[in-house]
Amino acid sequence: MRHALDLAILILFATAYSAAAIAWSVAAVYLFRTMANRHPDVRLWSAALGYVPLNIVFRPDLLTDRGKLYRRRFGKAALCFTVAVGTGFALSGLLRALP
């Protein structure tokens, strides 16, 4: 019985971390698409963004409508990544707690 439970947890663990890897890749794509779809007069390396181009995600007023769409998709992918990694850690803790 213990062997079947270990195998089920291992499969769930692998699924969670595979989902995390995919979500990380999707988030990276949408982050770069968000950065590319800013208003034409906004420079990435500027004081408005604190000289960090990734901060464009926190300034939706500097984005076009398409950029705002990609920003929402980036947020969803980042949330999926966080949930998948949290699930993996929870399963790891569960496995350690079992006798």
> Could you give the number of structural domains in the chain?
1
Give the Å distances, CA to CA, from 44 to 1, 63, 64, 68, 91. 57, 11, 14, 16, 40
pLDDT in tens, 79-88: 999 999 999 9
Residue 30 pLDDT: 98
Provide the domain limits for residue 9.
Answer: 2-97
pLDDT tens for residues 29-53?
999 999 999 999 999 999 989 999 9
Stretch (H or E) spanning 43: none
Residue 2 has pLDDT above 80, yes or no: no
Q: Which amino acid is at 2?
A: R
Residue 9: predicted pLDDT: 87
- Residue 4: what pLDDT? 87
pLDDT above 80 (res 1): no
